Amino acid sequence: MTDIVLLPGDGIGPEITKAVTEILDKAGADLCYHTYEIGEGAYNKTGALIPQETFDAIAKYKVALKGPVTTPIGKGFKSVNVQLRLKYDLYINLRPAYSIKNISKYPNVDIVTVRENTEDLYIGEEHEIENGFEAIKRITVPASDRIIRFAFEYAKNNGRKKVTCIHKANILKKSDGLFLQRFEEIAKEYPGIEPDKKIVDNMCMQLVMYPEKYDVLVAPNLYGDIISDLIAGLVGGLGLVPGANLGKDVAIFEAVHGSAPDIAGQNKANPIALLQAACMMLKHIGKDDVAEKITKAILKTLENREDLTQDLGGKSNTQELTAAIIRNL
């Protein structure tokens, strides 16, 4: 058995986590789950959003599967997700997305977004100024270099041909200018891979018009966050797309989507994005065969709209979709 930390989160988190662990167990993943609460639920019980025992468990077992966590908008506490990423220096946010027949609006998408996960506007430094506030955007050489190098290494090791750098260096000449300059410098170390660069607004249009032209994308934190939701929309929505937060020692796997408070507790949530994240986790811990088996079952299930949840145009609920995936294992 392999030990992993399970963080169900809140909103739809507990429902989809239950579905995913059921499928993992039926697929023979042979995992031992160490379950901990995080976010508001943990705060109400312990006074901490991420209790020390949760930090200790992640540090001990090194691999976690995490459901979404609600972050109050415009007030309240700092994002639990950002806190976890900073605590374990999970500097890579890897988000692969690909088209699925009869599900995706676009047929030829196969894009991996590599998002910088530790700096940019997400450092959360906002200051009061006369008549308003200002927010600090931080871009540094070490953080840019390691994420850009990871993107090229990923491309090299996965037979990818092109890496596109997303920026707004026409306006943010120093910060995004630095990210772009580091990209141009590091690209020289990878002569077999085409370096490409796009201003973020043009990138959005390009992705909607010609997504098939893009391969690996590398972006500072905020653009990576926005662009990966856009790409999720191209391939069928947030219910499908996974992400991995990777550092030197610790890896936390989660869906791209949030806690979906509009459908929480209604048995409507699609567990596939978190299940795909679990498949990334299985590969990370060397259980590639189980990951393959589950991926095949997901693709087979997606062929039958009857079995799908409403976000994918079906009429089934979370439990029915889970049962269909288990049948298809």
Question: Under the rule (CB under 6 A), what is the footprint of ligand NAI?
Answer: 12, 68-71, 81, 238-239, 254, 257-263, 269-270, 273, 311
Min. distance of Cβ 130 from ligand NAI in angstroms?
29
Give strand pairing partners of 251.
63, 246
Residue 102 tokens, joined: 């009869």
In whole angstroms, how far apart are CA 60 and each of 5, 28, 53, 284? 9, 23, 10, 16
Do 256 and 43 form a contact (C-beta atoms < 8 A)?
no
Query: CA-CA distance, 179 to 164, in Å (whole number)?
Result: 12
Nearer to ligand NAI, 19 or 57 (CB): 19
Nearer to ligand NAI, 148 or 240 (CB): 240
SS3 247: coil
Contacts of 97 (CB under 8 A, 6+ apart): 109, 110, 111, 112, 113, 228, 231, 232, 234, 235, 240, 241
Give strand pairing partners of 94.
114, 244
Nearer to ligand NAI, 261 or 313 (CB): 261
CA 107 to chain centroid, in Å, comes to 21
Min. distance of Cβ 51 from ligand NAI in angstroms?
17
Min. distance of Cβ 13 from ligand NAI in angstroms?
8
- Among 241, 220, 221, 215, smallest CA distance to 230 is for 241
Min. distance of Cβ 180 from ligand NAI in angstroms?
27
Nearer to ligand NAI, 128 or 262 (CB): 262
Backbone angles phi, psi at 284, to 5 degrees: -60, -35
Min. distance of Cβ 41 from ligand NAI in angstroms?
13
CA-based max dimension of the chain: 61
Nearer to ligand NAI, 151 or 252 (CB): 252
In whole angstroms, how far apart are CA 201 and each of 58, 170, 208, 223, 230? 37, 11, 11, 10, 12
Nearer to ligand NAI, 195 or 271 (CB): 271
Which residue, judged by CB position, is nearest to ligand NAI in the bound state? 258
Nearer to ligand NAI, 71 or 206 (CB): 71
Min. distance of Cβ 181 from ligand NAI in angstroms?
30
Min. distance of Cβ 108 from ligand NAI in angstroms?
24
